[in-house]
Amino acid sequence: MKSPIFNYIEKKIPHTMKKTAYLITLLIALFSFVALAKPTGSYKLVVEGFDWGAGVNKVILSLSDTTSIVNGMEYSVFASRKSTAGAIADDQSSGKRDVIGAYVSDENGNRVKTGKNITLVLMVGPQLPISSPIQYFRSKGNVWVDYQLTIVHAKSQQVWDTNTGKIMPLIDQFDLTGKYKFNDQLTMSYASFSPKIKKDKAPLIIWLHGGGEGGFDPTIPLLGNKAANYAAEPIQSIFEGAYVLSPQCPGAWMHNAQKISTHGKENDVYNEGLMALIKDYVKSNPNIDPTRIYVGGCSNGGYMALKLILLYPDYFAAGYISALAYRSEYISDTDIQKIKQVPIWFVHSKDDATTIPDLTVVPVYKRLQAAGAKNVHFTYYDHVNDITNFYGGKGFQYNGHWSWVYLHENLPKTDFDSSLVKVNGKPVSIMEWMATQKKGK
Ordered DSSP codes for 71-84: -GGGEEEEEEEE-T
pLDDT of the residue at 369? 98
183 and 260 inside one domain: yes
Q: Are residues 316 and 336 in the same domain?
A: yes
Of 92-106, 187-201, 314-328, give the lowest mean pLDDT range: 187-201
Query: Do 289 and 324 share a domain, yes or no?
Result: yes
User: What is the rounded distance in angstroms from the CA atom of residue 312 to the CA atom of residue 244?
Assistant: 20
253, 366: one domain: yes
What does the pLDDT average to over 39-58? 95
Extended beta strands in 182-313, E state = 187-193, 202-208, 243-248, 288-298
Please check whether residue 279 is in contact with residue 182, taking contact to mean a CB–CB distance below 8 angstroms. no
Taking only the tens place, the pLDDT of each residue in 105-152 is 999 999 999 999 999 999 999 999 999 999 999 888 899 999 999 999
Residues contacting 271, CB < 8 A, separation 6+? 253, 304, 307, 308, 311
Domain co-membership, 231 together with 357: yes
Q: Which of 139, 167, 195 is the last residue of a domain?
A: 167
Percent of residues, the chain, with pLDDT higher than 70: 90
pLDDT category at 440 given cuts 50, 70, 90 is confident
Q: Phi and psi dihedrals of 41, rounded to 5?
A: -120, 180
The arithmetic mean of pLDDT across residues 332-358, rounded, is 98
- Regarding whether 281 and 135 lie in a shared domain, the answer is no
- Among 10-14, 93-97, 271-275, 312-316, the minimum mean pLDDT is found in 10-14
Q: Supply the pLDDT for residue 129.
A: 96
Per-residue exposure over 337-355, b if at least 16 CB sit within 10 Å of its own CB, e if not = ebbbebbbbbbbbebbeeb
Q: Which amino acid is at 222?
A: L
Cross-strand pairs, 263: none
Contact present, 235 and 244 (Cβ < 8 Å): no
Task: Please tell me whether residues 163 and 177 are part of one structural domain.
Answer: no
For the chain, count helices (H), then strands (E): 11, 20
Mean pLDDT score across all residues of the chain: 92
Give the pLDDT band of residue 19 (cuts 50, 70, 90).
very low
pTM: 0.91
Does residue 368 lie in a domain region?
A: yes
Q: Are residues 383 and 403 in the same domain?
A: yes
Question: pLDDT per residue over 165-217, tens digit each?
Answer: 999 999 999 999 999 999 999 999 999 999 987 678 999 999 999 999 999 99
DSSP 382: S
Number of domains the chain contains: 3
Q: Could you tell me if residue 441 is inside a domain?
A: no
How many residues belong to the chain?
Answer: 441
- 310 and 199, same structural domain? yes
Per-residue pLDDT band at 47 (split at 50, 70, 90): very high
pLDDT band, very low/low/confident/very high, at 38 (cuts 50, 70, 90): low
**Rounded average pLDDT over 401-405:** 98
Comparing 139 with 351, the larger pLDDT belongs to: 351
Task: Identify the CATH number of the domain in which residue 107 sits.
Answer: 2.60.40.2180
Least confident of 12-21, 24-33, 191-200, 267-276: 12-21
A 10 A CB-CB count for 309 gives 22
Tell me the mean pLDDT in the region 337-356. 98
Residue 148 covered by a domain: yes
Q: Are residues 122 and 179 in the same domain?
A: no
* Greatest pairwise CA separation for the chain in angstroms: 79
- pLDDT over 90, % of the chain: 87
Neighbours of 4 (CB within 10 A): 22
**Does the pLDDT value for residue 18 go beyond 50?**
no
DSSP letters spanning 228-247: GGGGSHHHHHHHTS-EEEEE
- Give me the pLDDT at residue 16, please: 39
Helix or strand holding residue 406 (H, E) = helix 404-408
Sheet containing 202-208: order of strands: 175-181, 187-193, 243-248, 202-208, 288-298, 318-322, 344-349, 376-381
Is pLDDT above 60 for 403? yes
| Model confidence band, residue 36 (pLDDT cutoffs 50, 70, 90) | low
The CATH number linked to 268 is 3.40.50.1820
Query: How confident is residue 341, by pLDDT bands cut at 50, 70 and 90?
Result: very high
Kindly state the helix (H) or strand (E) to which residue 304 belongs, with its residue range.
helix 300-311
14 has a pLDDT exceeding 90: no
140 lies in which domain range? 38-167
What CA–CA distance (Å, rounded) separates 254 from 402?
18
pLDDT of residue 39: 65
| Mean pLDDT confidence for 396-404 | 97
pLDDT band at 76 (very low <50, low <70, confident <90, very high): very high
Question: Which residues are bridge partners to 67 per DSSP?
Answer: 115
Q: Does the pLDDT at position 253 exceed 80?
A: yes
